[in-house]
Structure 1
Amino acid sequence: MKNDLDQISDLVDHYDFATNEQCFQYNECNMLLPFIQSGKPVLEIEYSIPTSKFCPQANSMNFDALAKKLELDAWREACR
């Protein structure tokens, strides 16, 4: 599931993982916790926040998070 926060409670049982962009920037990451609580990964990407600002929280929430450039080239910086 990708970027569909409003339907997580209805759909978490039907998806193997969630992909989300910028939940830390928009303060929406808690909405993704049903995936973690169901033992399913959350893959999260930030574009404009430095990893030092979101990685500690992403790691504590057990998200697989990374920073990317908006150009979506090969560059990335993973939290773990």
Structure 2
Amino acid sequence: MTSNVELLLLDEPSVGIAPRLKGLIFEAIEQIRKDGTAILIVEQDATSTFGIADRVHVLEHGRTVKEGRASDLAGDEYIRQVYLGV
């Protein structure tokens, strides 16, 4: 990989992956982010994504229904019930 990457685009990086491997994938994504690369992830696993994201856009039927800082949305009751299973 080139060292001048500014943006990494990921489409469902955890789909079909065993849970143990999914954890390793998200650890690697988090390290890439910490190293300064901007990352855009399209992902259905909200729990893993909220854990590493700065900002989140929640889409339903192709429309944005919520957006904001991941830390703020993680406390949103609708998001917690529908996407985080809490």
TM interval, shorter chain, is: 0.3 to 0.5
Report the TM-score when normalising by structure 2: 0.45
Higher strand share: 2
Report the TM-score when normalising by structure 1: 0.47
**Which structure's CA Rg is the greater one?**
2
